[in-house]
Amino acid sequence: MPTQTVSPQRPTAISEHAAARPLAFACNLPGRAPLHAAAESTFRVALDRDGRPRSRWLDAATGEDRPPPADFRDDPLLDLDRVLAMRANPNLAAPFGSGWIGWLSYDLGRWIEPAADGGGGAAAGDAPLIELHRFTDHLPINEPRPSGSGLLATLRSATGRAAFMAAVERALEHIRAGDAYQVNLAHALRGRFTGSTRDLYAALAAAARPEHGVYVESAPGPTHWAVLSLSPELFLCFDPATRRVVTRPMKGTRPAHADPDELMHAPKDRAELAMIVDLMRNDLGRVCEFGSIRVDVPRRVERHATGAAGVLQATATVSGTLRGGVTLGGLLAATFPPGSVTGAPKVRAMRIIDSLEGFRRGPYCGATAVIDDAGRAVFGVAIRTAVVAGRADANGRFTDAAFEYAVGAGIVADSDPEGEWRETLDKAGPLRAAFRLADAD
């Protein structure tokens, strides 16, 4: 089978227009050119000091609380549905002409399924569980420009090679004991960052050419966050006209120079993807019409980007028809977090992940979200995603901020710890195009 080369829309620099408001960017939305938008209001769900989710409505320019436009119940997905309903417009002419853009953190999954909490849950002060900005305007598109941004130190794995390989060995023990079939383990590459995350995203996206690239800044506060997602993977795409839901899980990665045929037929990678296809079929089956689930493409190898940022990815396509009356919140309750970043069975794999990883994933391995007022929605799996947290000015320029880019691999029965470590570093390709990585320890 020939390798498909993915050619997403050209990434652009993010405009300085309306710089007093958080800015956001998304590419490859169905039926429209790349989206550049300024936030008007912000729906945020974050944990309070007691570890309970609290829904807030913020002035996007100041970060100050405003009276909520809906009756919030501090139930993240119920409140999400209420926020989406208040501006719903089934007759919206232009796809994604107005709506919402932001992220859902991986840690939201522990609230959806408390049994998945293995003790590594999020805490007050971490990135919001949900950050969605309201947008109605579209900003001028500028051409990319040199970043002028940089890391203050070489990126290093906070876990390190030896500890990550030991975690893989422990995951293999769980698999041999029958606790799980697959466990997706990650480690975080960390450094310090000073500069413009807007310019940095433009530079990284120009190299990675992400199919589901999204950039989002948080509303102001004591800590600012910027999420720079270079994701090639679709979590969910929903068309309200047909009620069709599509997911495209990816499992199996090689450098761009590798042999696509080897990846296509590699037993370990085939097993990984087959497990996650089954998981996603089951997740969608919880909320889709009986008999509507299809595996449209069981396996295909795609080429994403070129050069240092390039990778080969094995992917599949699964779809179903959402039952009448099931909301986007209901769809997320059945499927989040994405199965490709947890393992199988999902709940048990998440508990094992908590016990082995030693860090909170935050937006990484959650989802980026773009939802329009007609109900169209595109959620990307937040892999190949950098998170910057710290002090920033109104133009998205950070000073000595924490920079994190996590990378992971799917562990199955015949996984080799050294090989899994190498695969995680292959996934750091977009950063290798711009920064030095310490990968030997």
Query: What token pair was written down for 360?
Result: 């909170």
**Cα angle value 130/135/139 (rounded, 5°):** 125
The pLDDT score that the predictor gives to residue 323 is 98
For residues 66 and 57, what is the distance between their CA atoms, to the nearest angstrom?
A: 6
- pLDDT, tens digit (0-9, with 9 covering 90-100), for 323-341: 999 999 999 999 999 999 9
- List the one residue out of 12, 209, 208, 37 whose CA is nearest residue 132: 37
For residues 244 and 338, what is the distance between their CA atoms, to the nearest angstrom?
A: 18
Pairing verdict, β 155-157 and 437-438: parallel
For residues 323 and 244, what is the distance between their CA atoms, to the nearest angstrom?
A: 9
Look up the pTM and report it. Answer: 0.92
For residues 187 and 177, what is the distance between their CA atoms, to the nearest angstrom?
A: 24
SS3 127: coil
Beta strands in 210-283 (DSSP E): 212-217, 224-231, 234-239, 244-248, 250-255
Query: What token pair was written down for 13?
Result: 């620099």
- List the one residue out of 287, 37, 22 whose CA is nearest residue 128: 22
Residues 369 and 132: beta-carbon distance below 8 Å: yes
CA distances from 19 to 14, 331, 393 (A): 10, 34, 10
CA distances from 251 to 276, 310, 317 (A): 8, 16, 12
- pLDDT, tens digit (0-9, with 9 covering 90-100), for 88-135: 999 888 899 899 999 999 999 989 988 888 775 555 468 999 999 999
Residues 374 and 90: beta-carbon distance below 8 Å: yes
Within 10 Å of residue 438's Cβ, how many Cβ atoms?
A: 14
- Tokens 């929605």 map to which residue? 377
* CATH 3.60.120.10 for the 4-438 domain, yes or no: yes
Bridge partners of residue 389, in order along the sequence = 225, 402
The pLDDT score that the predictor gives to residue 121 is 52
- List the one residue out of 91, 95, 184 whose CA is nearest residue 377: 95
The amino acid present at 269, given as its one-letter code, is D
Residues 212 and 380: beta-carbon distance below 8 Å: yes
What residues does each domain of the chain span?
Answer: 4-438
Within 10 Å of residue 168's Cβ, how many Cβ atoms?
A: 22
For residues 353 and 346, what is the distance between their CA atoms, to the nearest angstrom?
A: 10
**In the chain, which stretches have pLDDT less than 50?**
1-2, 4-7, 10-11, 16-19, 124, 143-144, 146-148, 440
Residues 342 and 107: beta-carbon distance below 8 Å: no
**Cα angle value 299/301/305 (rounded, 5°):** 145
For residues 393 and 102, what is the distance between their CA atoms, to the nearest angstrom?
A: 19
The b-or-e profile of 214-225 (16+ CB within 10 A means b, else e) is: bbbbbbbeeebb
The amino acid present at 370, given as its one-letter code, is V
- List the one residue out of 364, 412, 32 whose CA is nearest residue 190: 364
